[in-house]
Amino acid sequence: MFAELNRITEKPDLYCCYTAEALWNDSHISKQMLKNHLDPSLELASRKFDFIDASVDFMQKRFALGIGKSVIDFGCGPGLYTARLARLGCKVRGLDFSSNSIHHASTEAVKLGLDIEYLQMNYLDYQARDIFDLVTMIYCDYCVLNDDQRKMLLKIMKDSMKDNGYIFMDVCSDQMYKNIQEDTTFEAVEKDGFWSARRHYVFKSTFKYEMNRVTLDKYTVFEKDRNINIFNWLKHFTMEELSREFEGSGLEILEVHSDVKGTPFSSESDIIAMVLRKK
């Protein structure tokens, strides 16, 4: 038991493991993820609906969205943004890894009579075949990727935008990183928990990687007949890092905000939202 506890709480090597498939496509966990996405009172998987409405309102005004404009959303989830953008008259495409999320988004689009193209796939495998006025990636999806993956994604996003188009995205800030503490917690759940419908035990360990400004929330879930390990990596950025990273991919930062609602930027913000364009 002591050796097992040591294993659970031992700090892993940076980016040693990715568990997106277990998180997004496990038969139980993926349903809980979708439930959290669609709960307007929670901000566990997506932001609250009034925030999303305000974000889309900002995007409509900033990028003159409407009939004749096109948008592609990387990591679209259950279509909370894509549906709103389609209602403005935009041509919309959404990409997401989760089959449950894409199924929900597609079903809602049909129900509402919205012409949205949804593709279930890892957006790192997407090959740009059309170009769009606006490319979006919202709720800090960019931060879950390692250095090579981010470089790959920026090329894909750049290839997906018109020469006079924009990328609109948000990331976790260095300020957020400073406020995170390393610790380990334990929980016993009788049934119907987030990770399992059966009785289970959950260890959560948070680690910080100072040289890279990366955090890891590592979940170890014990059921009677199986164990689950979930690794949630999150990269946090300074403005200097972002400028270098985008410049290396032929992009430049045009504007900076504290969120995707267009709130004026503050160095104390946990979030950095940016408008990017081709150099």
What pLDDT, on the 0 to 100 scale, is given for residue 37? 67
Question: What's the pTM value of the predicted model, to 2 decimals?
Answer: 0.92
Taking CA atoms, 75 is separated from 40, 102, 188, 271, in Å, by 19, 10, 32, 18
What pLDDT, on the 0 to 100 scale, is given for residue 142? 97
DSSP-derived secondary structure letter, 164? E
- Regions of the chain with pLDDT less than 70: 22, 37, 40-46
The closest alpha carbon to 245, from 155, 161, 160, 182, belongs to 155
Residue holding tokens 């597609």?
106
Judge contact between 186 and 200, C-beta under 8 A.
no
DSSP-derived secondary structure letter, 125? G
Q: Where are the beta strands (DSSP E) in 64-182?
A: 70-74, 91-96, 116-120, 132-137, 161-173
Amino acid at 189: V
| Residue 97: its H or E element | none
Domains along the sequence of the chain with CATH: 2-20+176-234 (no CATH), 32-172+238-278 (3.40.50.150)
What pLDDT, on the 0 to 100 scale, is given for residue 26? 77
Phi, psi of 100, deg, nearest 5: -65, -45
